[in-house]
Amino acid sequence: MGVVFRKTPKGQEEIQHRQGGLNPRIRRLLILVDGQRSVAELRAMVVMDDLTHALGQLEEEGLIEVAGLRLEDGSLGPASEPMPPVHGFRELPPDPVTKDLDRARHFMINTLKTFCGPHVHVSLMHDIFDAPSHEKIREYFGPWYRAIMETRQGGRRADELRVELLTVI
């Protein structure tokens, strides 16, 4: 079973007119999204360490949407409930756990130090460390992810790191 995406009318328009300023890799992925291929099938077709992030970007920009779920018999079934965005944050409980915020801070800072070096992105590390809430630390998710993606090793592990961070952020 796997999620299947399709192009939205805005996505079709982007393919025809190239007005969205997509980079060539993301544009190729948009072209491959056809409402029939699952994410796993797309992963087999493209060489992209950050496929989940790229699909999330296309979804956030309104260029693709969930078409349904690929069932075990190979047919395409409807999503049984509204699907969360590929790139979205979890819904926070009314009283978020402080321990999760601390784990998110440490994870983000440690991965920046590991993949980028201890003296690179120092101001981002300070901002993350000083973030008083989940809402505030989520503002640093994009810059954190871009910094990790800029490195060779980080780029290879970006999806794995992203998924791990999203469990606590």
Level-2 CATH architecture, domain 2-77 = Orthogonal Bundle (1.10)
**Predicted pLDDT at 31:** 94
pLDDT at 33: 95
Tell if the pTM clears 0.85, that is, is over it: no
Phi, psi of 14 (to 5 degrees): -65, -40
Q: Give the whole-angstrom CA distance, residue 107 versus residue 102.
A: 8
Can you give the pLDDT at residue 114? 93
**Distant-in-sequence, close-in-space partners of 71: CB < 8 Å, separation ≥ 6:** 1, 77
Domain extents for the chain?
2-77, 98-166
Q: Which residues of the chain fall below pLDDT 70?
A: 1, 49, 79-88
What pLDDT is stored for residue 28 in this prediction? 92
Tokens at 152, concatenated: 């060779």
Say which residues have a Cβ less than 8 Å from residue 32's Cβ, sequence separation at least 6: 42, 45, 46
